[in-house]
Amino acid sequence: MATLQERLADLIPEWRAEKGKVLKEYGDKVLTNATVAQAFGGMRGIKGMICDTSVVYPDDGEHGPGGLYIRNHHLLSKELEDMWPEQTFCLLCTGEIYDRDHDIIKNYMGEMDRRSQIPQYVYDVLEAMPPDSHPMCMLDTAILVMQRESSFKQGYDAGMTKPDYWLPMLDDSMNLLAKLPGIAAAVYRLRYNKGDYINWTPGLDWGANYANMLGLNDPTGNFAKLMRLYLHFHCDHEGGNVSANTCHTVGSALSDAYYSVSAGLNGLAGPLHGLANQECLDWIIQTIEKFGGVPSEDQVREYAFETLRAGKVIPGYGHAVLRVTDPRFTGFNAFGRQYLPNDPVFKTVDNVFKVVPKVLEEFSAERVANGKNPIANFWPNVDAGSGALLYHYGLEEFEYYTVLFSVSRAMGMLSQLVWNRAVGTALTRPKSVSMEWVAKNAK
């Protein structure tokens, strides 16, 4: 039976040859010129790393619609419709789409069953944490504590050579992915007093297994459907976002998958990155509470300005790269329209979408008139709508939402780590300069 590892073993020599060719032909070409403003501005727009798993196009253009392309397929393209996360991970790793009955997927699902057992010490550590710990802190701690399991670390200590680095990285990736839904579900059940942990069900897919282990009532199976979609949509967003970039940097020091992914997820836990999904739903619910029901467009406008004038951001809007509506938002909206069109929280998200881009545009003009930066993007990002869907199915603990994002994003970070080990990416170490250096030399 063909396995993901065997397929990668065929593909990796081609990637290495391609890297050699690209370096030989274009090695001395300039990718980007960086300005002082960009160095102060979070390196926005600086092209300084290579990532093949996915690309984000800011706008619509020759490539097609703007947004996320997983291995050259637009997120909302026909080929990626109804994709299960198992297929997503294999696509991220290989660039190939396999049907669910393909040997590689069947074998991968068997590996998930085989590796899904969570060590008892992980539960012990989680249970010893203060009961008000943030679910993200619990998840990241659980991942870090499993570092002792790392095959990469063992191989490295045993003298493994560079061309083989990708093999234990893949092994660590599969071990971590198999355990993550169970750990994340345990965090939920422990943190919110939901009763006993629920075990992994062999033969059930990754998304449905996670849904099942959370333990919410799902008579229609639509929550499991949402979880598959959610895990597929959040999987990767090229290499430069805070979590992927952090994971990449930590991994570049040959730190193993446990250190690297845990580090990346600590970045995802920030409110300007993945934590925005909890903040978004909080904002939507506040709007409903303030106006005593689904707010009208005028009421949304009023509350949006109130938020902005209080010096806060509108969570779920704006993006560091995108300049169009995030296709992940569009995809979640389509799910909402199909399965919960009359849900008041979903309806509010829809009203917010009708109003907030215009509000941000007006507010941006005010900012500019007051000598501040414009807001670069007025459109919703991935976090603007997903919470309403989770809330509908009874997952009402907002603080937990970034954990769901994390379980998915681990696929992107791990596939990037495997790719980096396969092609032998170098230690990350950009050069910094001081303000004094700028003042002396920028002239």
320 binds ligand MLT (CB under 6 A): yes
73 is catalytic: no
Residue of 180, 265, 321, 417 that binds ligand MLT (CB under 6 A): 321
167 binds ligand NMX (CB under 6 A): no
Q: In the complex, what is the shortest distance from the CB of residue 261 to ligand NMX, in angstroms, rounded to a whole number?
A: 17
CB atoms within 10 A of CB 389: 25
Q: In the complex, what is the shortest distance from the CB of residue 103 to ligand MLT, in angstroms, rounded to a whole number?
A: 31
List the single partner that 272 binds among ligand MLT, ligand NMX, none, CB under 5 to 8 Å by kind.
ligand NMX
Residue tagged active-site, from 73, 232, 248, 319 = 319
Q: In the chain, what is the greatest distance between 2 CA atoms, to the nearest angstrom?
A: 68
Instruction: Identify whether the C-beta of residue 244 lies closer than 8 Å to the C-beta of residue 264.
Output: yes
Nearer to ligand NMX, 264 or 318 (CB): 318
Q: In the complex, what is the shortest distance from the CB of residue 182 to ligand MLT, in angstroms, rounded to a whole number?
A: 24
49 binds ligand MLT (CB under 6 A): no
Q: In the complex, what is the shortest distance from the CB of residue 86 to ligand MLT, in angstroms, rounded to a whole number?
A: 20
3-state secondary structure of 404: helix
CA distance 265 to 406: 6
Beta bridge pairs of residue 70: 54, 73
Instruction: Identify whether the C-beta of residue 197 lies closer than 8 Å to the C-beta of residue 123.
Output: yes
Residue 169, C-beta contacts closer than 8 angstroms, at least 6 positions apart: 152, 256, 257, 414, 417, 418, 421
Tell how strand 67-70 and strand 73-74 pair up.
antiparallel
Nearer to ligand NMX, 67 or 182 (CB): 67
CA distance 210 to 419: 26
Q: In the complex, what is the shortest distance from the CB of residue 253 to ligand NMX, in angstroms, rounded to a whole number?
A: 24
List the single partner that 372 binds among ligand NMX, ligand MLT, none, CB under 5 to 8 Å by kind.
ligand NMX
Question: By CB under 6 A, what part of segment 272-291 binds ligand NMX?
Answer: 272-274, 276
Q: Is residue 422 packed enough to be buried (19+ CB in 10 Å), middle (13-18) or exposed (0-12)?
A: buried
Nearer to ligand NMX, 286 or 338 (CB): 286
Instruction: Identify whether the C-beta of residue 366 lies closer than 8 Å to the C-beta of residue 312.
Output: no
Q: Which value, to the nearest 10 degrees, does the dihedral of the CA atoms of residues 418, 419, 424, 429 take?
A: -90
382 binds ligand MLT (CB under 6 A): yes
Residue tagged active-site, from 73, 74, 232, 273 = 273
Nearer to ligand NMX, 42 or 424 (CB): 42
Residue count at the site for ligand NMX (CB under 6 A)?
A: 22
What track of x and - describes contact with ligand NMX for positions 302 through 331 (by CB under 6 A)? ------x----xxxxxxxx-----------
> What DSSP assignment string belongs to 172-202?
HHHHHHHHHHHHHHHHHHHHTT--S-----T
Nearer to ligand MLT, 167 or 235 (CB): 235
Tokens standing for 158?
A: 């045993």
Nearer to ligand MLT, 153 or 248 (CB): 248
Q: Is the dihedral of CA 121, 127, 129, 133 positive or negative?
A: positive
What track of x and - describes contact with ligand NMX for positions 43 through 82 (by CB under 6 A)? -x--------------------------------------
Q: Where on the phi/psi map is residue 74: left (φ > 0), alpha (ψ -120 to 50), or beta?
A: beta
Nearer to ligand MLT, 134 or 234 (CB): 234
Residue count at the site for ligand MLT (CB under 6 A)?
A: 7
Task: Using the rule CB under 6 A, give the single segment among 4-12, 22-30, 270-278, 281-289 that binds ligand NMX.
Answer: 270-278
Pick from 184, 173, 191, 193: nearest CA to 139 = 184
74 is catalytic: no
CB atoms within 10 A of CB 16: 14
Q: In the complex, what is the shortest distance from the CB of residue 381 to ligand NMX, in angstroms, rounded to a whole number?
A: 4
Question: By CB under 6 A, what part of segment 224-283 binds ligand MLT?
Answer: 237, 241, 273
List the single partner that 276 binds among ligand NMX, ligand MLT, none, CB under 5 to 8 Å by kind.
ligand NMX
Q: Which value, to the nearest 10 degrees, does the dihedral of the CA atoms of residues 87, 173, 331, 323 take?
A: -130
Pick from 47, 98, 49: nearest CA to 71 = 98
377 binds ligand NMX (CB under 6 A): yes
Residue 285, C-beta contacts closer than 8 angstroms, at least 6 positions apart: 345
218 is catalytic: no
Instruction: Identify whether the C-beta of residue 69 lies closer than 8 Å to the C-beta of residue 54.
Output: yes
Interface residues toward ligand MLT, by CB under 6 A: 237, 241, 273, 320-321, 381-382
The residues annotated with a catalytic role in the active site are 273, 319, 383
Interface residues toward ligand NMX, by CB under 6 A: 44, 272-274, 276, 308, 313-320, 372-373, 375-377, 381-383
